[in-house]
Structure 1
């Protein structure tokens, strides 16, 4: 597999064959209306050329438990919305998405255009998906409390009495009142429950103002097109999920996703923070050797592999069938 430097060089040196620029596409909330990223765009010859050129790179970067068919279908849909972006930024955003193991379908993640730069943005559902993949989380709950909902929060009470929320779906949306709190918690394998994270609108706005360069740039230019402008409730809930990470068993992939999300908000390179498949194999080998050493002092742990010495494939064979977990 060629290096990232080689891939980016190839993307910038070769003609892209892209068609005429298209207007930026707004992404609706997938949970409410089932919208898919890039809906209405058909793959042109430039899109197909891009996919043919880099398909193997994406396939090698994807974890074995991700449905490759769904991933490439989403890529075909989103590429026509990125025609104003540089080929190098398209490649980096999509490789980052592939390495982290999320599908850029507008549900788990989106690839958005900021000027001529493509950026990978994980949604709160993407964070939830990686929480499930850790194997230690039984269920994740995230939601919004509206002004006229029935709810109570008493942090000193024992779980699950410390937090209750009874929405009022029988009322018209206007009658429920504005959203006043976002919350997130999870039940762990074995029956324990995590701490409940509660964020007010003021909390979310402080996070936005402090950490999001994309929001500040959109304010300064008057475009008001950052995700904090167009998907405030989603970003509010993602902030609650991000804070929940501190109170649940985590994984290397989940920690990397948080760093990647922060880099995207700050306008920094994301691909350098994405997990490397070969490094992941070495870490897994090290963990197995450590467990072996702890379980038996009489049996010597297996030798750790040196990067680049593994024969054959650098990762397990892909599961082309894929699977979908409910959040």
Structure 2
């Protein structure tokens, strides 16, 4: 049986009924005008309106996906700004990338998240600030610090020393970046609720290149095609910093949402469908309802809250000695 709705296709992908590549290629009932989008590098303003009108056919899905703290107007303003770069992407991949971004409550503003084009596919890429946002949402992280050390900066790292004396970075901000030299290390650490500090993550350029070579299919494809247009080509430092933040996410208390974001990012690097890894709004709603029901049940056990008197307890009387023993005691007196 052919699946016709977006939810049906996502469920089919989760159950193995539809291959990831097929999910990307399906047109999802796109109007005929959108077939022209694949053939142009730039999208005319009128075509932008056509694409937005088509996306708004899935308004209910976006409203369901976007968390309450994300302004819908701001999200779609960012979407309009990125449409030109997605001119050659299939409508299905554009829709899925944007829905994935919405489900994580991230705005595709190139700071928190990016929607990029890989061939004819639109891909959701969470950036360092997006990972940091999810760390804060977990409730276990007080602050996150990310930076880079340049070759003439003053710094020290002594892993055996107690925090915060184990790591010190003192850049001379009176110097220009050129005077401070090339970046030699990127670092990230977090202060946790309660005052403790996480492990310091330090990544050299060699470390970052190793991560890129092992995990980024987009980089390998761009190398093979000679295009040099992957993020690792065009914005190496941002990806270097992001790699440090991703490693930090693994050493601080990780929420289920953060674990899902890591899987989703990995799927994007591997060229797979991402939306199947994103939080399911229906699951989140059921979890919220279950949590609320549990809190009500717990409160109902508190007599002060419910006004219900507790059941009386049976008083245990001390055991009395047999009468003969008491009489014997009097006789001895």
Same-fold status (TM-score > 0.5): yes
Aligned length: 284
2:239 alignment counterpart: 235
CA radius of gyration, larger in: 2
108, 117, 120: which is aligned to 2:121? 117
Root-mean-square deviation (CA, aligned residues, Å) is 2.6
TM-score by length of 2: 0.78
Change (3 A) 1:289 1:197: farther
- Higher helix proportion (structure 1 or 2): 2
Question: 1:16 offset after TM fit, Å?
Answer: 5.0
How do 1:145-294 and structure 2 match up within 5 A?
145-287=149-291
Change (3 A) 1:167 1:23: farther
Q: Deviations over 1:162-206 (max 9, x none)?
A: 101111221122211111111100111221111111111111111
1:23 alignment counterpart: 41
Q: Deviations over 1:134-172 (max 9, x none)?
A: 122111001101000111111111111010111122112
Contact 2:30-2:54 at 8 Å conserved across structures: no
Question: 1:51 offset after TM fit, Å?
Answer: 3.4
CA–CA distance in structure 2, aligned partners of residues 268 and 86 of structure 1: 14
CA–CA distance in structure 2, aligned partners of residues 197 and 294 of structure 1: 41
CA–CA distance in structure 2, aligned partners of residues 143 and 74 of structure 1: 26
Q: RCO higher in 1 or 2 (8 Å CA, sep ≥ 6)?
A: 1
CA–CA distance in structure 2, aligned partners of residues 89 and 250 of structure 1: 28
Gaps of 5+ in 2: 11-22, 304-333
127, 132, 139: which is aligned to 1:128? 132
Question: 1:288 offset after TM fit, Å?
Answer: 5.4
Equivalent residue of 1:13, what SS?
coil
Question: 1:249 offset after TM fit, Å?
Answer: 1.5
Contact 2:30-2:91 at 8 Å conserved across structures: no
1:312 alignment counterpart: none
CA–CA distance in structure 2, aligned partners of residues 68 and 178 of structure 1: 40
Equivalent residue of 1:104, what SS?
coil
CA–CA distance in structure 2, aligned partners of residues 114 and 169 of structure 1: 38
2:319 alignment counterpart: none
CA–CA distance in structure 2, aligned partners of residues 92 and 55 of structure 1: 13
**Greater Cα offset, 49-58 or 245-254:** 49-58
CA–CA distance in structure 2, aligned partners of residues 263 and 223 of structure 1: 22
CA–CA distance in structure 2, aligned partners of residues 241 and 145 of structure 1: 15
CA–CA distance in structure 2, aligned partners of residues 291 and 207 of structure 1: 44
Contact 1:185-1:194 at 8 Å conserved across structures: yes
Contact 1:256-1:274 at 8 Å conserved across structures: yes
1:5 alignment counterpart: 8
TM-score by length of 1: 0.79
Question: 1:284 offset after TM fit, Å?
Answer: 3.5
Change (3 A) 1:285 1:155: farther
Change (3 A) 1:270 1:295: same
Contact 1:142-1:184 at 8 Å conserved across structures: yes
Question: 1:69 offset after TM fit, Å?
Answer: 1.4
Gaps of 5+ in 1: 25-37, 300-327
CA–CA distance in structure 2, aligned partners of residues 177 and 45 of structure 1: 46
Change (3 A) 1:153 1:10: closer
1:141 aligns to 2:159 (yes or no): no
1:46 aligns to 2:45 (yes or no): no
